[in-house]
A and B are shown apart, each in its own frame.
Chain A
Amino acid sequence: MSGTPIEIKLFSKKAREFIEWLLGRYPNKQAALLPVLRLAEEEFGNIDDSSVMLVADTLDLSPGYVWGVLTFYTHYRREGDGKYLLQVCSTLPCALRGCDKVQRRLEEKLGIKAGETTGDGLFTLKKVECLGSCDTAPVMQVNEKYHENLDVEDLDELLETLRG
């Protein structure tokens, strides 16, 4: 972690109550790690250093351990991710139905490659694996929402809607 001081974060009252409930569902605190990371993501918009410290503190785990677990998983929203996470499925069934074109069009429109975020912090483009919706390929998940049967032509409109 860098030399800049880490902002101290706290969970809201509602979140603390939820954690209380959550801890009653498992025989130890560690088991609540994934759900509490989710909660941090929801509360603060993403998971950064200070969220990791907070989660570690809440569950009596070391920050290093929490980092180790967090980085194993790809679906948490991390510091620096844009407001909208465009997660384009790239696995075989989607590939058979043209996800490459979707990916390329988004790269062109946004001027970024997979894994990058636009300068205005609005969009992060990601190539992800099978989203479990291959019957409506090609598919992209934008934050929590699935966009199915994507047509390259629809993408411009979708981006406009998201830009607001």
Chain B
Amino acid sequence: MAEIKQEKFEKVLTKYVDEDGSATLEFYRGHGGYEAAERVLKEMKPGEVIEAVKESTLRGRGGAGFPCGVKWSFVPKETDKPKYLVVNADESEPGTFKDRVLMERDPHQLIEGSIISAYAIESHVCYIYIRGEYYDAFLTMQKAIDEAYEAGILGENVLGTGFRLDMTMHRGAGAYICGEETGLLSSLEGKRGLPKIKPPFPAVEGLFGCPTVVNNVETLSCVTHIFDRGVDWFKSIGPPEGPGPKLLCVSGHVERPGTYEVPMGINLLDLVNDYAGGVWKKRKLKAIIPGGTSAKILTAEECDVGMDYESLAAKDTMLGSGGVIVMDEKTNMVNALYNILRFYAHESCGQCTPCREGTGWLAKICGRILHGTGRMEDLDLMIDLAQKMCGRTICVLADAAAFPCESIVRKFRLEFYAKINAGAGHERDIHTGGPLVQPGALSAHNQERLDELRGGH
């Protein structure tokens, strides 16, 4: 195994996760825990906390990357309604498993960040919506919350400051769409997890019709450190448009899959090679999905890129949830895409026609290519369908299915041709009775590449 070339970078979010007892209050306090929250609640006004988070340029770690302080500032100041803070611990984007580590190994870090955030938006009720599968994380969080109540860190008089905050764990029950913030809020209200049209945005009209901030577990854990170490420290890490420490989840064909804490902007290839031990079995890299399956794919040639919001956007993809899925040279992309599309077809909540029908058809078309009954026209059909699904639905699950589809079909078109052609021997066109791939359907260049590919079979 290659030596891990750990940067001088000091881990903060996962600093203690490998230590015994890291989840206990005693351990947390022993390492300076809750000092930041106490200072903030005693010395700062809510508005100043929001300004500081704005100034830090902390962007949401759940997927969309929206500036956290800006979102908080949308919460109306003058209102008779209660305000809510909801922690998004649904972590359901395929390839993402960082929030689980944070909750299982350092629950108080999240509680502290949530206290500061609730204080900033003047909320007295916080719900942590955790996916049903995460039972250990649920138990650990519940235990930490119980400890915090007992120690006067939660409840009527938070840390002796007179601020009141109640915190409740709320378990989901297996539905990807409950990670989408409005779907999550529906679920939390005791309904089916159906997303709602925005606006109104949750900050104005969210849970039970009241102003609500929804933030990801990692985002809120970052808040703790912004007030522990300061805004300037936070801004000194990575690019100015979205700085800070970042947890990246590396999975797939690498030697050492895992959650790695890195400075925002780390080169993707360095992450894969230095941290995750490189592509497994000494194979070559084929492609990487950089931000969970909802992100567009990068070919091996495109992977020399910084892992931050702007650099990835410049490559027409996104940081998303930080789920880095690595694929080696032997990966069949038709297979991979089918797996992705099947997921979205299964998880579509069914409210919007373009999403419900689109995800279903994309999966079916890709499935028939995979199983040898595809047609040449299917590729353009998939791209056309994917494009028509984008931007026309209540939530962006439709786009999340369309992005990987369009990018994989475009970038690995020849593999799809190969599958179609391989099937063309026994499957006949239902109209003409001839082979599905007509002679001359490919350009000379593509035909050559295709022959090469088939030669390799």
Give CA–CA (A38, B187) in the complex, Å: 14
Q: Are B172 and A73 in touch, CB under 8 angstroms?
A: yes
Question: B240 to chain A: closest CB distance in Å?
Answer: 30
- Whether the Cβ atoms of B253 and A96 lie closer than 8 Å is yes
B94 and A92: CB pair below 8 A?
yes
With both beta carbons as reference points, the residue of chain B lying nearest to A28 in the complex is identified as B208
Contact of A134 among B166, B208, B257, B339 (CB under 8 A): B257
* A130-B94, A134-B94, A141-B133 as given contacts; A93 in contact with B325, CB under 8 Å: yes
Residues of B within 8 A of A90 (CB): 339
Q: State whether B252 touches A32 (Cβ < 8 A).
A: no
State A129–B342 Cα separation when bound (angstroms): 10
- A67 to B: closest C-beta gap in Å: 11
**With an 8 A cutoff between CB atoms, is A132 at the interface?**
yes
If A96-B253, A134-B323 touch, does A75 touch B174 (CB 8 Å cutoff)? yes
Query: Which residue of chain B is the closest to A87 with respect to CB atoms?
Result: B133
* Contact A136 B257, beta carbon cutoff 8 Å: yes
Chain B residues whose CB sits within 8 angstroms of the CB of A130 once the complex forms: 92-96, 343
- Cross-interface CB contact of A72 among B93, B175, B249, B327, cutoff 8 Å: B175
Number of contact residues on A: which range applies? 35 or more
Cβ contact within 8 Å between A131 and B133 = yes
* B246 CB-CB contact with A under 8 Å: no
Knowing A35-B170, A130-B94, A134-B249, the reply to whether A75 touches B192 (Cβ < 8 A) is: no
- State whether A74 touches B173 (Cβ < 8 A): yes
State the Cβ distance, B172 to closest chain A Cβ, in Å.
7
Which B residue's beta carbon lies closest to that of A131? B133
Q: Check A135 against B174 for contact (C-beta < 8 Å).
A: no
Q: Are A96 and B189 in contact (CB under 8 A)?
A: no
A72-B192, A92-B339, A135-B250 are contacts. A144–B175 as well, Cβ < 8 Å? no
Confirm or deny: B206 has a beta carbon within 8 angstroms of a beta carbon on chain A: no
Q: For the complex, is B235 an interface residue (Cβ under 8 Å from A)?
A: no
Complex Cα distance, B46 from A10, in Å, reads 46
A97 to B280 Cα, complex, angstroms: 11
What bracket does the count of chain B residues touching chain A fall in? 35 or more
CB neighbours (8 Å) of A136 from chain B are 257
CB of A40 closer than 8 Å to a CB of B:
no
Q: Which of B170, B336, B340 has the most CB of A within 10 A?
A: B170
Distance in Å: Cβ of A112 to nearest Cβ of chain B: 20
Min CB distance, B25 to chain A, in Å? 21
Contact yes or no, A135 B97, CB < 8 A:
yes
Q: Say whether A74 contacts B96, CB under 8 Å.
A: no
| In the bound complex, CA of A92 to CA of B92 (Å) | 13
Interface residues of B in 323-340 (CB under 8 A from A): 323, 325, 327, 331, 335-336, 339-340
The complex places the Cα of A59 from the Cα of B190 at a distance, in Å, of 11
Q: Within the complex, which residue of A91, A137, A141, A145 is in contact with B339, where a contact is CB–CB below 8 Å?
A: A91
User: Taking the complex as formed, is A110 at the interface, i.e. its CB lies under 8 A from any CB of chain B?
Assistant: no
Judged by a CB distance under 8 angstroms, whether A95 is at the interface is yes
B343 touches A31 (CB 8 A): no
- Of A28, A74, A91, the residue contacting B94 (CB under 8 A) is A91
Q: Which residues of A contact B253 (CB under 8 A)?
A: 96-97
B323 proximity list for chain A (CB < 8 A)? 93, 134
Are B94 and A34 closer than 8 Å at their CB atoms?
Answer: no
Known contacts A34-B170, A135-B259; is-contact A75 B91 (Cβ 8 Å): no
A137 CB → nearest B CB, Å? 6
A33 to B171, CA, bound (A): 11
Chain B residues near A31 (CB, 8 Å)?
188-190, 208
Shortest Cβ gap from A86 to chain B (Å): 14
Contact B96 A75 (CB under 8 A): no
Q: Contacts of B310 on A, CB cut-off 8 Å?
A: none
A135 to B191, Cβ gap below 8 A? Answer: no
How many angstroms from the CA of A54 to the CA of B261 in the assembled complex? 46
Interface check A125, CB cutoff 8 A: no
B309 at the interface (CB under 8 A from A): no
A38 to chain B, nearest CB (A): 6
B95, A74: Cβ atoms under 8 Å? no
Task: Indicate if A11 sits at the interface (CB-CB under 8 A).
Answer: no
From A25, A92, A134, contact of B340 by CB (8 A): A92
Q: A92-B293, A92-B339 are in contact. List 16 more A-B contacts (CB 8 A).
A: A34-B187, A34-B190, A69-B192, A73-B172, A73-B175, A92-B336, A92-B343, A96-B327, A96-B336, A130-B93, A130-B94, A132-B91, A134-B249, A135-B97, A135-B251, A135-B259
22 A-B residue pairings within 8 Å (CB atoms):
A32-B190, A61-B190, A68-B192, A73-B132, A73-B193, A75-B174, A76-B174, A91-B94, A91-B343, A92-B252, A92-B325, A95-B336, A95-B339, A97-B252, A128-B174, A129-B347, A130-B94, A132-B97, A132-B133, A134-B94, A134-B252, A135-B249
List 10 A-B pairs, minimum CB-CB distance, nearest first.
A75-B174, A33-B190, A73-B173, A134-B251, A30-B190, A93-B251, A135-B257, A72-B192, A74-B174, A144-B135
Interface residues, chain B, CB within 8 Å of chain A? 82, 91-97, 99-100, 131-136, 166, 168, 170-176, 187-193, 208, 249-253, 257-259, 293, 323, 325, 327, 331, 335-336, 339-340, 343, 346-347
